[in-house]
């Protein structure tokens, strides 16, 4: 049993024993955290704080790109306000151009004179795609953000040669017919494409394939790639362990990563549920479902372990986030983003930190104006969401090494759902400081966390009065981090957590 699993098991045991239902709402629940200096796994790859952008709704057009002629201030077409907010946050990697869109995308539509680019039907998300943003424009954005690129390449509706030629066009330095075309289109120096996804959701929008068929196809496409790039096999997004088995067994040697998609819905795919105006049951349901990402990572990792004992193949959670009903009249997959979404982000980050031996990348769906977005725009205005601030709070964890810790927490019950009051992640940052993230899931009760840590703590807290508190263009500061500090007493550091809060602190920073 690993130390992290010990942590979770122990927390469950305490929960069963202590359910302080009679305590008053204002009285804090008592939580104990003991941290050792022993690493709990390899370092937290910064890429687990990655993003996903798809040609869908107002993600690319309007959200990120307004075009060089727009009155909205921009740099070569990319909005200055959004680029600046994302640069501030730090974007380690962006996945593009889909999602489902990727398997219906011909890269040649997006190069050359913009006025001559074809207009296509956006099969999956409605409307027309004029291809104004293509390879050169997207790579310009990635360079402005200093982000690595994760190309989602078409395995569903184009031959292997198309994927191979796109990569050659982008990454080859020698003089070939394709690289000369790239030069004529304005780019001399080859780009680096660190990651390439071979298809997307091949079990669904990527071609409705059987795993056995997908596996053969994956091997074929991977064989003909003309680039040095990490190859990610389109993976799992439901509950198909069989798919993981087949891909790992028959395609393992042709991949560097396997992917997992995990969406959190309060309801089901027919009635997903509301982004705002929800009750405590829906709060608890969403947090419980979000925590299920760890169960899925565990299951998929165990199957991967059978076929890849040395853990050469990474797991990329290349789509994760909340998914609610789209309000009438909104663009595709647009939804508001509340404190609850920030909690989902924090719980997901903590789960990724506990699985650093496999999880080397994760991409929130999606960067702007769709699903769990860190940024929303409307015309010339932009607002940063609680999810943006969760990413921001967790910045010190990038590159840090998770530490073994034992958490004893009571649990609380809402309707049928029982949850731990507090969830935690601890890591040693590169500067030697201990980074501690604590999430109080209980919307009613504060928590007091006593620890064996010796130093004082400084950092920030994200919380709000209402469970669905959110930022709007008119009130952009409703949910923003505020400074947080706690002092160590003779018995160790004690942290007071407000109800429904995320606290991230640095302890004993030199
Ligand atoms: O993120 C929206 C969609 O969700 C993606 O296009 C697809 O891969 C997934 O089903």
- pLDDT reading at 510 higher than 50: no
Mean pLDDT over residues 48-69, rounded? 98
pLDDT above 60 for 79: yes
Percent of the chain topping pLDDT 90: 92
Residue 129 confidence (pLDDT):
98
CA dist 259 and 164 (Å) reads 21
Contact between 226 and 164 (Cβ < 8 Å): yes
Cα separations (Å) of 200 from 233, 318, 328, 344, 500? 8, 10, 28, 24, 35
Q: How many whole angstroms from 357 Cα to the centroid of ligand 1? A: 26
Answer for the pair 287, 441: CB distance below 8 angstroms, yes or no. Answer: yes
SS3 labels along 319-388: EEEECCCCCCCCCCCCCCCEHHHHHHHHHHHHHHHCCCCCEEEEEEECCECCCCCCEEEECCEEEECHHH
Ligand 1 pocket mutation, candidates 53, 205, 207, 322, criterion most atoms within 8 A of CB: 205
Tens digit of pLDDT for each residue in 364-397?
999 999 999 999 999 999 999 999 999 999 999 9
Ligand 1 test: best mutation among 261, 363, 369, most atoms within 8 Å of CB?
261
Q: Quick one: what percent of the chain has pLDDT higher than 70?
A: 95
User: Whose C-alpha lies nearest to ligand 1, atom 5?
Assistant: 99
Residue 28's pLDDT band (boundaries 50, 70, 90)? very high
What's the pLDDT tens digit per position in 309-363?
A: 999 999 999 999 999 999 999 999 999 999 999 999 999 999 999 999 999 999 9
* Segment 429-454 mean pLDDT: 96
The atom number, within ligand 1, closest to the CA of 101 reads 6
Residue 24 has pLDDT above 70, yes or no: no
Query: What is the pLDDT averaged over residues 485-504?
Result: 96
> Pocket around ligand 1: residues whose beta carbon is below 6 Å from it?
54, 98-100, 200-201, 319, 365-366, 371
Q: How many helices (H) and strands (E) does the chain have?
A: 10, 26
Identify the CA nearest to 52 among candidates 350, 374, 360.
374
pLDDT band at 509 (very low <50, low <70, confident <90, very high): low
Ligand 1 atom showing the smallest separation from residue 124 Cα? 6
Lowest mean pLDDT among 150-154, 181-185, 368-372, 489-493: 489-493
Whole-number average pLDDT of the chain: 94
pLDDT, residue 4, reads: 37
Can you give the pLDDT at residue 6? 36
> What is the tens place of the pLDDT at every residue in 496-507?
999 999 999 999
Band (pLDDT 50/70/90 cuts) for residue 25 is low
Q: What is the pLDDT of residues 178-195, one digit of tens each?
A: 999 999 999 999 999 999
Q: What share of the chain is helix, strand, coil (3-state, %, to 5)?
A: 30, 30, 40
pLDDT digits (tens, 9 = 90+) for 222-280: 999 988 999 999 999 988 999 999 999 999 999 999 999 999 999 999 999 999 999 99
């Amino acid at each position: 049993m690993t130390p992290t699993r010990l942590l979770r098991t122990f927390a469950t045991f305490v929960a069963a024993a202590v359910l302080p239902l009679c305590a008053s709402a204002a009285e804090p629940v008592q939580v104990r955290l003991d941290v050792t200096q022993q690493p709990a796994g390899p370092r937290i790859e910064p890429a687990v704080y990655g993003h996903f952008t798809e040609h869908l709704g107002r993600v690319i057009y309007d959200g990120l790109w307004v075009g060089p002629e727009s009155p909205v201030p921009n740099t070569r077409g990319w909005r200055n306000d959004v680029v600046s907010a994302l640069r501030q946050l730090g974007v380690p990697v962006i996945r593009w151009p889909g999602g489902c869109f990727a398997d219906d995308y011909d890269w040649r539509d997006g190069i050359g004179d913009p006025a001559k680019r074809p207009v296509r039907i956006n099969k999956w998300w409605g409307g027309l795609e004029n291809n104004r943003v293509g390879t050169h424009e997207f790579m310009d954005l990635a360079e402005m953000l200093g982000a690595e690129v994760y190309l989602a390449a078409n395995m569903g509706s184009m031959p292997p040669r198309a994927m191979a030629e796109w990569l050659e066009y982008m990454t080859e330095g020698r003089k070939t017919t394709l690289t000369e075309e790239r030069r004529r289109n304005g780019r001399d120096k080859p780009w680096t494409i660190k990651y390439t996804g071979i298809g997307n959701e091949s079990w669904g929008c990527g071609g409705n394939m059987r795993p056995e068929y997908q596996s053969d196809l994956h091997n074929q496409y991977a064989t003909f790639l003309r680039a040095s790039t990490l190859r990610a096999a389109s993976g799992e997004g439901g509950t198909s362990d069989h798919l993981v088995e087949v891909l790992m067994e028959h395609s393992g040697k042709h991949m560097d990563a396997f992917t997992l998609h995990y969406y959190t819905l309060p309801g089901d795919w027919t009635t997903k549920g509301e982004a705002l105006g929800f009750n405590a049951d829906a709060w608890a349901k969403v947090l419980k479902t979000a925590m299920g990402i760890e169960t899925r990572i565990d299951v998929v990792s165990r199957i991967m372990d059978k076929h890849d004992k040395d853990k050469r193949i990474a797991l990329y959670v290349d789509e994760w986030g909340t998914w609610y009903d789209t309000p009438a009249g909104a663009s595709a997959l647009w939804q508001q983003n509340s404190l609850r979404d920030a909690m989902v982000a924090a719980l997901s980050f903590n789960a990724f930190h506990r699985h650093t031996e496999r999880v080397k990348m994760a991409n929130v769906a999606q960067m702007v104006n769709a699903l769990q977005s860190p940024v929303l725009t409307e015309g010339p205005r932009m607002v940063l969401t609680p999810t943006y601030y969760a990413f921001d709070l967790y910045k010190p964890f990038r590159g840090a090494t998770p530490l073994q810790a034992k958490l004893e927490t009571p649990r609380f019950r809402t309707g049928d759902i029982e949850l731990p009051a507090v969830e935690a992640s601890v890591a040693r940052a590169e500067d030697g400081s201990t980074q501690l993230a604590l999430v109080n899931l209980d919307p009613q009760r504060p928590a007091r966390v006593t620890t064996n840590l010796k130093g004082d703590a400084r950092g920030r807290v994200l919380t709000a009065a209402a469970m669905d508190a959110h930022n709007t263009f008119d009130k952009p500061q409703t949910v923003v981090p505020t400074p947080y500090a706690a002092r160590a007493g003779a018995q160790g550091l004690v942290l007071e957590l407000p109800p429904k809060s995320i606290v991230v602190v640095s302890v004993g920073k030199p």
